Chain A
Amino acid sequence: MSTRLYAATRKGLFQVERGKSRWTVKKTHFLGDNATMMLSDPRDGTVYVALGHGHFGVKLHRLRQGARKWEEITTPALPPRPEGTAPRVDPMGRTIPDSVQLIWALEPADPARPGSLWCGTIPGGLFRSDDGGMTWELNRALWDHPKRLEWVGGGADYPGIHSVSVDPRDPRRVLVGVSTGGVWATTDGGASWNISSHGMRADYFPPEQTNDPHVQDVHRLVQCPAQPAEWWVQHHNGIFRSTDDAASWRELRVAPSSFGFAVVVHPRDGGTAWFVPGTSDQRRIPVDGHVIVNRTRDGGKTFEALTKGLPQRHAYDITYRHGLDIDATGDRLAFGTTTGSLWVTEDQGDAWQTISEHLPPVYCVRFAGQA
């Protein structure tokens, strides 16, 4: 059971620990710097943090278990632009920078090989490291895929990879979520990729393209570790679920809103999942100023709005796609928001405890990794 969690925020990384019953901020790291993504690695206890310096670019640091000092490691880099060519322009007419703008996903690549990592970036690069981030290799099969050039910005001005799910049955099976560009799957460790978002719906495209799996704006993609054929997606247009290994997706209509960014699934029960809804894509505020967490325990047939301990008057907290996490037991969840609130539950969301309502904007919340 996790007794520590981290919140990566606009102004640093906050380390939160459980006392006898209360969770409080115990330490800060990189205070004042923009911490956009983090990973607390269950395999070897290393903590990784990605910083996005406004002036100095994207940087990666790691703190090895037992070490007192953070060390700067290598930032994934996009390949050199062919000589004499201009930066690429996307289908929307936006010039895509050919340097990493944001580290948007960081995950262990192989449970049996500590130090192996996947990293997703904006613009849409997928990188692999096998030495704890000292060196990175761009996955060329996905980068060079002709359909990759059709990805467009969704969650940001430029397209990116925000979710990387490594299959617990076989680490060569990996699914990535792209905003905007659907779900992509490999079964051979990244040597080849296929689109895997059939059944999703994109209302922001003309009718003839609405069901094109390549244009789907996946906000977050998660897999149930113990029932790995079961998947959930929070999408720009709603909530989608797959029970056939992401071969097909089915849309769920949810009150009070199906819009949001974040989703987590129970580690042992693929039918139990949590969402933090907002009013709509056009009005990104909680419905009627109530902060709620939506929970289903029956695969999406019914949802219940969890509110105990959460503000129910004039609250405008929005939770980004990495702002909600669940621990390995499935009992403890935590989420952070754009207005600097951070809440934790120890009973699957029945009641929530406020850790802070005054943090910087929260980008990523993660429980400390448990082996």
Chain B
Amino acid sequence: MPTVAFTENIQRHVPCPPTEVPGGTVREVLDAVFAGNPQARGYVLDEQGELRKHMAIFLDGRMIRDRAGLSDPVRPDSKLYVMQALSGG
């Protein structure tokens, strides 16, 4: 199953331990994570379900391409990192 890890900075607000969840796209993987941790959803996605402007998701070492639809395909052994985009210095 794909693994998902979160930036250390989010942990102060809402605990987001590393996890393994099923899913064939970034959207499916995140939906699976947030099903077990609903509070975290609003920290990563806005109310339109799009990646927040100053957040970044790396999928197997590359920034995802579809920040709105989260349709990038995920393999069973993929590694996802949910990070803060560098901003404000």
Contacts and interface: CB of A to CB of B under 8 A. Distances in A.
Interface of A: 53-57, 59, 72, 75, 77-78, 80-81, 97-100
Contacts of A81: 48
B84 A55 contact: yes
A57 B42 contact: yes
Nearest to B43: A56
Nearest to B53: A97
A59 B42 contact: yes
Nearest to B44: A56
A98 B84 contact: no
B85 A98 contact: no
A56 B46 contact: no
B87 A54 contact: yes
A78 B46 CA distance: 10
A122 to B, nearest CB: 14
A99 B87 contact: no
A59 B87 CA distance: 19
B48 to A, nearest CB: 6
Interface string B41-64: 011101110101011000000000
Interface in B74-89: 84-85, 87-88
A55 B47 contact: no
A56 to B, nearest CB: 4
B10 interface: yes
Please provide the 9 A-B residue pairs with the shortest distance between their CB atoms, ordered closest to farther.
A99-B46, A77-B47, A56-B43, A55-B54, A55-B84, A99-B47, A57-B52, A98-B48, A78-B47
A99 B43 contact: no
B54 A72 contact: no
B65 to A, nearest CB: 18
Contacts of B44: 56
B48 A55 contact: no
B39 interface: yes
A97 B47 CA distance: 11
Contacts of A99: 46-48, 50
Contact of A56 (B48, B50, B52): B52
Contacts of A75: 42
25 contacts: A53-B43, A54-B87, A54-B88, A55-B9, A55-B52, A55-B54, A55-B55, A55-B84, A55-B87, A56-B10, A56-B42, A56-B43, A56-B44, A56-B52, A57-B52, A59-B13, A72-B14, A75-B42, A77-B47, A78-B48, A80-B47, A80-B48, A81-B48, A98-B47, A99-B47
Contacts of A98: 47-48
B46 A57 contact: yes
B47 A100 contact: yes
